[in-house]
Amino acid sequence: MIKTIEGIYQDGQIHLTHLPQDVSDRSQVLVTFLDPAQIDPNKLRQLIDQLETIAGIGQGFEELNAGNTRPIENFVQEMQQKYGISG
């Protein structure tokens, strides 16, 4: 699982903007320091979105490799029902 959280480094401590519910007290983290003078908030948000997308794809591959799949016919039927598509 990969989660990207924004935070501020101040007085020798990192203060997170929020903590997801599914993160344990002893989760491993990677910290990247950014130069505030060089940050475009929109590009930072895009980067975070891209990282979360990559993490989601990785989770999908893990589920596929673990055999957690379903027949395509079931998926198609579910999407048709959900979005009112006739097939």
Banded pLDDT at 1 (limits 50, 70, 90): low
CA 71 to chain centre: 26
Tokens of 43: 């590009």
- Rounded distance between C-alpha atoms, residue 3 and residue 25, angstroms: 14
CB 56 within 8 Å of CB 50: no
Average pLDDT value for the chain: 87
Mean pLDDT along residues 51-67: 91
Banded pLDDT at 61 (limits 50, 70, 90): very high
Which percentage of the chain shows pLDDT scores above 90? 33
Which percentage of the chain shows pLDDT scores above 70? 97
| Conformation bin of residue 52: beta by default, left when phi > 0, alpha when psi is -120 to 50 | alpha
Residues 7-41 have pLDDT tens digits of 888 999 988 888 888 888 888 888 888 888 888 88
Mean pLDDT along residues 40-62: 89
